[in-house]
Amino acid sequence: MGKSESKKLESKHPGIPTSLLTRRHLMETPKETSGKKRLRQTNLEDCFGVGIKRHRSSQGEVEASLVEDVEQGSMSSRPLGESSELRRRREQLAAAAERRRASQSPYSTPPHDAPSSPDSNQGSEEVTDKSTEKTSRTHGSKGTVSKPSTSTAGNSNTGSEVVANSGRNFESVFAYLEEDSEACGRASASSTRSYPSNRTRSKVGEATPGTSVERDNLGGHSSQGTADVSQKTRPDANALVEEDEAAVAVGDVSPTQEYDASLPLFSDSEPHSSLDDEVQVNKDATRIEWRGVDPSALNRAPACRQTLPRLQPSHSHTVLFRPHIRSGAPPRPFPDAYRDTWDAHHVRMPCSPENLYPVDDKNGQKKVQSRWELIETTLLKPIQNSWDLEEAILTYNARYCSKWNFAGLHHFFTEEVDRREARHFFDQLLPKMVELALMLPKLCTQAIPLLKRQESHTITLTQLQIASLLANAFFCTYPRRNAQQKKSEYSRFPDINFNRLFEGSAKKSSTNMRKAEKMRCIINYFRRVALKAPTGTVSFTRRAVTAMPEWEKSTNTLTKFHGNVYGTIEDQGEGMLQLDFANMYIGGGVLGHGLVQEEIRFMICPELIVSRLFTEVLEGNECLFVKGAERFSDYTGYASTFRWNGDYQDTIPRDAWGRKETEILAIDALVFRCFEDQFKPQLLRRELNKAFCGFYGDGTLAANLPAVATGNWGCGAFGGDARLKGLLQMMVAAECHRDMAYFTFGDQRLCYELHKMNEFLVAQGVSVGDLWLVLQRYRTEVLQRKAKRNFTNLYTFIYQVYNDVESSTDEKDGEEGAEQTGGLSRGVDDSDDGSLSPDYKVDTP
């Protein structure tokens, strides 16, 4: 539209904004479009003609009404007195609301009016200037980032990363196995699809976009936070744009994909939350990513660690190599020659001379042969496909020919990877894995002691020794580890041979999919080891604690709390004591169909799997520490949505013993079928004691203890309540003088409630012993009541208890009120104490 036309419109409609007049004029006047754009609109109208026409008609009506309103407003405006009266009434109401807020203590009443989403009260907590709204960030009680991402669980994927990984192909996994690294580099450079090595560590304090996480309460993963420690390398955005434009030019993109800038045609086709509505209304709206103390305020290793003593073996520490760490080279095994031990206190090694196996001779007579010789002879034969691999494994496991199922293995190499990729595996990688497995007597020159029940002991191995042990597990060579009977020798140990990983299901495609993604993690691990021998070490420590706290007598108060909504334990918990929500049989279903928090951690850090070789089932006062496990794979999703997402370069530094500064704590929770059972005194005490086994610093100064990175331990499939488990872990952290970082895996409300509860209890000076007594009182006064119509949730009950105490002391003199408070704290479990009203406001989420 020219200037002359604009002036004509302004003269006809004085006082109306030119932008509205211009838009109205353009709608009424047809405009010629280029052939390419006309073709695009024609295609869209062919597909969605009715919807587009209806939308355009409604849009025209809305804009026409806006112009009419402006016209009427310019001719007959509202009287000045009426506008000033409305403004005065609004100011009075705002002032009254402010006086009501100022007249009350922050904790005078339970927060029953907590927002349905923690973000909904953000306006009252944070004032953001519009000109800097996109980049402002507050600290202290909460952290914010702008424009929330919509990626799924696991590690965050931006739009460009999705494009980069959408053609995920396993040929790149095998492409790095060439003997000549230069030739391999040239081959990968000339390949049309490069290997997705898309995970590297960044600085702890670096902020990255968060992701929404699709996880259940059992844990897990997943998942960028404010203090991100790993960030994806992204493809060149300009190159991606050029590729997209080229695809549109040649007509490879569908009309709906071309119409990205259009209004949504099916806006109600997918359910969305109130938070999504808020983001759609204001695209610059921020979201809460963490609450509590700033993550930089928490202790992390190695900064908080004391100097390590010299590494040397002892009666409580077995070291399987010479403790002289040489940078850049794997430590030498100790002793130099293989020394066998074949008894009930050590792992029965496949290469032991005592490992015998019955075979048929040429005359059909039974004879006993060294099983290791049979393994060597079998694995050194050509293995061309998955059926050859099955036949080889069953050669020295003949009794399981009719019991073991290799359908998952065959499905992977026939359905999940193409012929070229499968050929690369069997021609290039598998021979290196065979070589690694057969090096066992040269790498592990002494038998590994078993970590048995009620015995505290540490085993430290090299990463190369672990790789050889896992290669033998892949080929199912460990003797006496396949029997499942209760009276078998290793019935109280997890299985270690990979035969269950190779199983498949003809009816459940989800099982085959899970096994396929696990296979990708395992193969990527062996690819990395074959490419370059690892040079570090890993320690496994079983701890049994006999002296437990008297929880009802503890006077410790709660420590620092950081709640993280979108982060993960393995990423944002760098340098902390990272929890593994473990099974009593360590590793749980890692070799089966399980794919929740523990199994995912074992898949991305496969060195953890070797703990199943020597760790007996954990009892109520025991836990397992793993220090130094390296991460090899990236992932997205959780459970059925889990996907291997490429290689991961773990650049976490090593300590003086050659271990990564990553410490994992495995503790198993109880399984609950009934909500009320969790509050039984003996079961509460068991969960507290179990967590205490791992959180306990064993004499280390509090300043040298890293914070605990945890989450919904024992929830989800185990039936635990996340709010109770969060409170119990706060109690144990306080008893052990550790700070806590709690990851809610996308649950903003849970993060909000945990933070508010921690803040409330700290402000009230509530001790661990007080909390124990309140939990007992909640069981007797709420859960055991016959009439549960007015059921009160745990946190509402706690708020009510201490607010009643506060109101009762306000009516007394100082000294008398103090005595009243102390009496109630000590007697919260007395049956004759009826100070609470039976009609509580229900605040169950």
Q: Is the separation of the CB atoms in 151 and 213 below 8 Å?
A: no
Q: Is 463 annotated as a binding residue?
A: no
Task: Determine whether 598 is an active site residue.
Answer: yes
| Given 161, 599, 630, 843, the catalytic residue | 599
Q: Is 312 annotated as a binding residue?
A: no
Q: Is the separation of the CB atoms in 200 and 649 below 8 Å?
A: yes
Q: Is the separation of the CB atoms in 128 and 136 below 8 Å?
A: yes
CA distance linking residue 518 with residue 39, whole number of Å: 47
Q: Which residues pair with 541 in a beta bridge?
A: 458, 625
CA distance linking residue 388 with residue 297, whole number of Å: 56
Peptide bond into 534 cis (omega under 30): no
Q: Is the separation of the CB atoms in 167 and 193 below 8 Å?
A: yes
| Given 228, 289, 574, 580, the catalytic residue | 580
Peptide bond into 302 cis (omega under 30): yes
The arrangement of strands across the sheet holding 633-636 comes to 228-231, 199-206, 643-649, 633-636
DSSP state of 360: E
- Cβ neighbors of 385 (< 8 A, separation 6 or more) are 413, 422, 426
Please name the amino acid found at residue 323: P
Task: Determine whether 599 is an active site residue.
Answer: yes
Structure tokens at 497: 């041979």
Q: Which residue is listed with tokens 């959408």?
A: 166
CA distance linking residue 250 with residue 255, whole number of Å: 13
Q: Is 638 annotated as a binding residue?
A: yes
CA distance linking residue 486 with residue 298, whole number of Å: 45
| Given 228, 503, 574, 598, the catalytic residue | 598
Sign, CA torsion 564/570/574/580:
positive
In 371-512, where do the E strands start and end?
457-462
Structure tokens at 8: 């004509």
- Cβ neighbors of 521 (< 8 A, separation 6 or more) are 603, 604, 606, 632, 633, 635, 644
Length of the chain: 845
Task: Round to the nearest angstrom and report the end-to-end CA distance of the chain.
Answer: 56
- Cβ neighbors of 778 (< 8 A, separation 6 or more) are 679, 794, 797, 798
Q: What is the 3-state secondary structure (H, E, C) of 162-190?
A: HHHHCCCCCHHHHHHHCCCHHHHHHHHHH
Q: How far is CA 366 from CA 319, 369, 391, in A?
A: 40, 10, 21
Q: Is the separation of the CB atoms in 494 and 585 below 8 Å?
A: yes
How crowded is residue 683: how many other Cβ atoms within 10 Å of its Cβ?
A: 13
CA distance linking residue 114 with residue 125, whole number of Å: 13
Catalytic machinery residues: 580, 598-599
Binding site residues for substrate, as ranges? 583, 597, 638
Q: Which residues define the annotated binding site?
A: 583, 597, 638
